[in-house]
């Protein structure tokens, strides 16, 4: 039996780092404050392998790329995903392209970690789900877990992978707890989705924070006699196309939910996948419920309004299963901002 320990997603990431640093002396960790915040790693693995850097994302990422090509396995923590813009040149133009352009002479085993998402009311220069931008860049892999166990297993897989992997950590999940396998050979393979709930009437596909939104919607739907299947993608590139297609062929309805904006997003890719490879199975149009095509506001009220809520998912599915019975009013404007709430769901007083 697998032994498990209850811990937060953040602790699970820390455990993954520790195990991989133990496992492979070529793994090193760099970033603004990584050595301050993870003193125990400095103590155990030395200051050479756990490095506070100057505040300079371009050179952090560039150094990681150069070091990866030369035999090390760097993990870089770039803090909030928007700061990756400074690192984009090294990640996109170098890490993603130079293996190919060198005719396969080099490989770039590196991991770049960035936090995304709502929950802290810090506004668009910190809160931006820009994962799809990196999905669009050739040569990179992109993962984005929803559960503590996957934070551990995917980070370990990313460190062991011989390609550059972008690891997006939804900051709304970092302090959530879950059971995490103790085994230091516990790996979650990149490119494999997880089936979180089995159902037969509709497939809800999501990743990161909105997986929980889908699960809550599925519970609400169950009360109304509708059986929803929930898929957690976990990896955005490569995408587990088979898992999605298999489910859609069964349920014949597809709803994709993510906090990132819809245009050219993961949902668009999945809609194209379903239209291209499961067209005959579909009984209703594919629906995307996403964040709006707008920078994220700091105000808690607007942050709430921007994020897909369980009720929105439930309502959309109810309309979807009724499709054909009556003219669906939502078809024209499901995107963008189709997920926007019209009322704050909770009220805050500060």
Return the active site residues.
57, 126
Binding marks (x or -) toward other proteins, 73..92, rule CB under 8 A? ---------xx-xx------
Q: How far is the CB of 32 from ligand TPP (least distance, A)?
A: 5
79 binds ligand TPP (CB under 6 A): yes
Residues 197 and 33: beta-carbon distance below 8 Å: no
Q: What is the DSSP letter of 295?
A: P
Going from the C-alpha of 210 to that of each of 174, 302, 304, the distances in angstroms are 14, 17, 13
Partner whose footprint covers residue 136, from ligand TPP, other proteins, none (CB < 5 to 8 Å by kind): none
Only one of the segments 54-62, 165-173, 232-240, 270-278 lies at the binding site for other proteins (rule: CB under 8 A); that segment is: 54-62
Helices (H), strands (E): how many in the chain?
A: 13, 14
Q: How far is the CB of 252 from other proteins (least distance, A)?
A: 33
Q: How far is the CB of 241 from ligand TPP (least distance, A)?
A: 35
262 binds other proteins (CB under 8 A): no
Only one of the segments 79-87, 140-148, 213-221, 229-237 lies at the binding site for ligand TPP (rule: CB under 6 A); that segment is: 79-87
Among 40, 44, 58, 238, binds other proteins (CB under 8 A): 58
Helix 210-223 × helix 310-321 angle, to 10°: 50
Would you call 333 helix, strand, or coil by DSSP? helix
DSSP bridge partners of 143:
167, 235
Going from the C-alpha of 346 to that of each of 169, 195, 208, 210, 349, the distances in angstroms are 25, 30, 21, 17, 10
- Residues of this chain, 4-63, that bind ligand TPP according to CB under 6 A: 32, 55, 57
Whether residue 329 has a cis bond before it, omega within 30° of 0 = no
240 binds ligand TPP (CB under 6 A): no
Residues 190 and 154: beta-carbon distance below 8 Å: yes
Would you call 217 helix, strand, or coil by DSSP? helix
43 binds other proteins (CB under 8 A): no
Among 46, 189, 238, 295, binds other proteins (CB under 8 A): 295
Q: How far is the CB of 31 from other proteins (least distance, A)?
A: 10
Partner whose footprint covers residue 22, from other proteins, ligand TPP, none (CB < 5 to 8 Å by kind): none
55 binds other proteins (CB under 8 A): yes
Residue 329 makes CB contacts below 8 A (sequence gap 6+) with none
Q: How many other C-beta atoms can be found within 10 angstroms of the C-beta atom of residue 347?
A: 8
Strands 50-52 and 27-31, how do they pair? Answer: parallel
Among 45, 83, 151, 167, binds ligand TPP (CB under 6 A): 83
Closer CB to other proteins, residue 126 or residue 141? 126
Among 68, 111, 306, 321, binds other proteins (CB under 8 A): 306
Residues 262 and 288: beta-carbon distance below 8 Å: yes
Residues that bind other proteins (CB under 8 A): 32-33, 36-37, 52-59, 82-83, 85-86, 120-123, 125-126, 292-295, 297-302, 304-306, 337, 340-344, 348-350
What residues make contact with ligand TPP under the rule CB under 6 A? Answer: 32, 55, 57, 79, 83, 86
């Amino acid at each position: 039996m697998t032994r498990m320990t209850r811990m937060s997603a953040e602790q699970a990431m820390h455990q993954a780092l520790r195990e991989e640093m133990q496992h492979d002396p070529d793994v090193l960790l760099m970033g603004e404050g990584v050595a301050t915040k993870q003193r125990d790693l400095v103590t155990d693995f030395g200051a050479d392998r756990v490095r506070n850097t100057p505040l300079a994302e371009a050179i952090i990422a560039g150094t990681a790329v150069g070091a990866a090509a030369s035999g090390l396995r760097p993990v870089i923590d770039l803090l909030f995903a928007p700061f990756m813009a400074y690192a984009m040149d090294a990640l996109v133009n170098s890490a993603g392209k130079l293996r190919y352009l060198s005719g396969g002479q080099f490989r770039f085993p590196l991991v770049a970690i960035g936090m995304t998402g709502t929950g802290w009311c810090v506004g668009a220069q910190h809160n931006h789900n820009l994962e799809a931008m990196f999905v669009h860049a050739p040569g990179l892999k992109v993962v984005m877990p929803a559960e503590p166990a996957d934070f551990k297993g995917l980070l370990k897989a990313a460190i062991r992978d011989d390609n550059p992997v972008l690891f997006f950590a939804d900051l709304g999940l970092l302090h959530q707890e879950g059971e995490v396998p103790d085994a230091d050979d516990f790996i979650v393979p990149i490119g494999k989705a997880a089936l979180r709930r089995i159902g037969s009437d509709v497939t809800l596909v999501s990743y990161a924070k909105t997986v929980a939104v889908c699960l809550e919607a599925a519970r609400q739907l169950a009360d109304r006699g509708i059986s929803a299947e929930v898929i957690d993608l976990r990896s955005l590139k490569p995408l587990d196309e088979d898992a999605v297609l298999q489910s859609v062929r069964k349920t014949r309805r597809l709803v994709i939910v993510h906090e990132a904006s819809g245009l050219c997003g993961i949902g668009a890719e999945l809609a194209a996948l379903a239209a291209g490879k499961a067209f005959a199975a579909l009984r209703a149009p594919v629906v995307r419920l996403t964040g709006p095509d707008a920078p994220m506001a700091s105000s808690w009220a607007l942050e709430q309004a921007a994020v897909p809520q369980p009720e929105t998912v439930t309502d959309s599915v109810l309309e979807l299963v009724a499709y054909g019975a009556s003219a669906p009013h939502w078809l024209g404007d499901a995107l963008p901002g189709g997920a926007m709430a019209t009322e704050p769901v909770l009220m805050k007083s500060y």
